[in-house]
Amino acid sequence: MKRLLEKRRPIWIILGAGLLVVAGVLVVAAFVNPQSAGPGPEQTETLSATATSLAPTTPAETSAPETSGAQASPTPGSIAASVNGYTITQSYLSQTVKLNTVLGRLSGASVLDERETLQRLIRSQLIVQGATAFDEPTDEDVEGFIASLLQNWGVSDERLVQELEAVDLERAFLEDTIKRLLTVEAAVGSLESEGNNLGEWLREQEEDAEIMVFADLIEEEEEEEASPTAESEDEDESPLPTPEAQSQVPDVAPNFTLDRAGGGTLTLNDQLKEGPVVLVFFERCG
Q: Which of 73, 154, 158, 226 binds another protein (CB under 8 A)?
A: 73
Report in angstroms the alpha-carbon separations of 228 from 26, 61, 233. Answer: 21, 41, 9
Does the protein bind another protein through residue 261 (CB under 8 A)?
yes
Report in angstroms the alpha-carbon separations of 234 from 143, 183, 221, 257. Answer: 27, 22, 15, 37
Does the protein bind another protein through residue 236 (CB under 8 A)?
no
Task: Map the footprint of another protein across residues 94-113, applying CB under 8 A.
Answer: none
Q: Which of 206, 220, 234, 237 binds another protein (CB under 8 A)?
A: 206
- Residue 212 · residue 81 · CB < 8 Å: yes
Nearest CB to another protein, comparing residues 96 and 107: 96
Element spanning 212, H or E: strand 211-213
Does the protein bind another protein through residue 3 (CB under 8 A)?
no
Q: Which of 203, 230, 233, 270 binds another protein (CB under 8 A)?
A: 203
- Of 39-47, 87-95, 149-157, 244-252: span binding another protein (CB under 8 A): 244-252
Does the protein bind another protein through residue 283 (CB under 8 A)?
yes
- Please, what is the minimum distance in Å from the beta carbon of residue 3 to another protein? 20
Nearest CB to another protein, comparing residues 70 and 167: 70
Report in angstroms the alpha-carbon separations of 253 from 81, 218, 247, 249, 279. Answer: 31, 20, 14, 9, 10
How far, in Å, CA of 28 to CA of 16, rounded? 8
**Rg of the chain on CA atoms, in Å:** 21
Q: Which of 5, 190, 213, 238 binds another protein (CB under 8 A)?
A: 213
Does the protein bind another protein through residue 243 (CB under 8 A)?
yes
Burial class of residue 270 in the structure, from the number of CB atoms within 10 Å of its CB (0-12 exposed, 13-18 middle, 19+ buried) = exposed
Q: Is 104 helix (H, G, I), strand (E, B) or coil?
A: helix
- Of 106-114, 145-153, 183-191, 242-250: span binding another protein (CB under 8 A): 242-250
Nearest CB to another protein, comparing residues 139 and 222: 222
Q: Which of 157, 207, 223, 270 binds another protein (CB under 8 A)?
A: 207
* Alpha-carbon 136 to chain mean position: 21
Does the protein bind another protein through residue 71 (CB under 8 A)?
yes
Does the protein bind another protein through residue 268 (CB under 8 A)?
yes
Candidates 91, 64, 85, 82; CA nearest to 121 is 82
How far, in Å, CA of 38 to CA of 45, rounded? 12
Q: Which of 23, 36, 41, 69 binds another protein (CB under 8 A)?
A: 69
How far, in Å, CA of 184 to CA of 186, rounded? 5
Residues that bind another protein (CB under 8 A): 69-71, 73, 119, 122, 203, 206-207, 210-213, 216, 218, 221-222, 225, 242-244, 246-256, 258-263, 266, 268-269, 271-273, 275-286
